[in-house]
Amino acid sequence: MSDRRRGSDEHATSGRSPLDHASERDQLIESHLGLARHLAERYISRGEPRDDLFQVASLALVKAADRFDRSRGIEFSTYATVVVLGDLKHHLRDSAWSVRAPRRVQETYLQINGETDRLTQQLRRSPTVAELARACDLTHEEVIEALEAAQGYRAGSLEDASNGGSTLAETLSSTSEEHGATAFSEQIEGLDTTLATVLRWRFEDDLSQSEIAARLGVSQMQVSRLLRRALDELRGRLGRD
Amino acid sequence: MSDHIELSFPARPEFLSMARHLMGVAAARVDFTLDETEDLRLAVEELCLGLLDESLGPNVAVSVGVDLDTDGLTVRVRLVGSNGSPRQTPGGSGLPPSLSERILDALVDEHGESREDDEPVAWLRKSREHRNSGP
């Protein structure tokens, strides 16, 4: 079935929004699994297992179906493509577990990561474990377990880190600010530009991790890993006086 | 709420992940946001590293005590079993003192060093920020 046909089918059943019938939602997901697989296959050359990519795409499809609001007048296939591609890029950016976590935990983390972004925008601050658990229909322990496992994600090289197309270095060059020669900037001199900037934003400009994440277009967890890496490098270079 | 948690682990950097994990659990109990939780993890890691150094014997442990209350939590970190000769001043593998001070200032509300039972203790205090309620 073509996307155009699917679109016509969607509008033929319009009138309720968002989808309020489980069977309608399930049918929408089922009929677009081919689209999810097609989008996942675009990224097979990146080295991630085919099954993992398809799983990320499928979960994103479910998320798209849950959030689809037909009253906005766009076809589901269009909306789903945006959501699936976004989650695939998010996965590739953050993923590659340095310690292979169980699939269940990986899935939970992917779910939590998406909800964290959504809740951060909604609440204008980062969410608590309780709020994430409520939003994801998980227990507190499951959320904590997944967040712990997220520490096992490889940060990836700074060159690879991207916010949907641009590398962090490119993003930083477009948001660069002049900083005078402070004692702090002298202490972090010589660090990679990205690490130094993240340190300066957090410890000189007093931005929260979520605020830095929003500036860079990456997840708060990625900022956390960058900060840890920056501090580790500083400890290695400076040591104790 | 007034719970106390105590965790001991060998005084070597490879065991620091246990302290980070403890902070994740403790922070969830007092309803910290993810931002606050990650700040707490970084701060406790710095406190612990400040006590570690290569001269410590193999039987020395780091003890991390956490007191939870309704507003936040207090963490005390100390060395245990350092051959009966408690360290007089923290040294360790952390950042230079001036930088360490700056980092901790940004991550927590209060921090410092004290002596308990004639042993040096590094401590920190972090409270929940006043915030809008969730969905």
CATH number at residue B116: 3.30.565.10
Q: Do B102 and A184 touch (CB under 8 A)?
A: yes
Q: How far is B118 from chain A (nearest CA, A)?
A: 24
Residue reference for tokens 């500083």: A234
Degrees to nearest 5, angle at CA B36 with A159 and B50: 80
Look at residue B133 and tell me if it is in a domain. Answer: no
Look at residue B135 and tell me if it is in a domain. Answer: no
Q: Do A231 and B46 touch (CB under 8 A)?
A: yes
Please tell me whether residue A39 adopts helix, strand or coil conformation. helix
pTM: 0.68
Start-to-end CA distance of chain B, whole Å, equals: 24
In tens, the pLDDT along A159-201 reads 444 444 455 555 555 555 555 567 788 888 888 888 999 999 9
For residues A59-70, average pLDDT = 87
Mean pLDDT estimate for chain B: 86
Which among B17, B31, B49 is the nearest to A130, CB-wise?
B31
User: Does the pLDDT of residue B21 top 60, yes or no?
Assistant: yes
Look at residue B44 and tell me if it is in a domain. Answer: yes
| Domain extent for B97 | 3-127
In tens, the pLDDT along A115-144 reads 988 899 899 899 999 999 999 999 999 999
Instruction: Give the mutation candidate from B35, B53, B128 for the A interface (greatest A CB count, under 10 A).
Output: B35
Lowest-pLDDT range, A8-17, A122-131, B10-19?
A8-17
Max distance between CA atoms of chain A, in angstroms, equals 72
Q: What is the pLDDT of residue A22?
A: 73
B38 neighbourhood in chain A, CB within 8 Å: 209, 220, 224, 227
Q: How far is A225 from chain B (nearest CA, A)?
A: 10
Contacts of B58 (CB under 8 A, 6+ apart): B10
Look at residue B134 and tell me if it is in a domain. Answer: no
Q: Sort B4 into a burial class: Cβ within 10 Å, 0-12 / 13-18 / 19+.
A: exposed
Q: What is the pLDDT of residue A14?
A: 42
Q: How many domains does chain B have?
A: 1
Q: Do B35 and A209 touch (CB under 8 A)?
A: yes
Q: Which residues pair with B110 in a beta bridge?
A: B125
B45 neighbourhood in chain A, CB within 8 Å: 228, 231
B128 φ/ψ sector (left φ>0, alpha ψ -120 to 50, else beta): beta
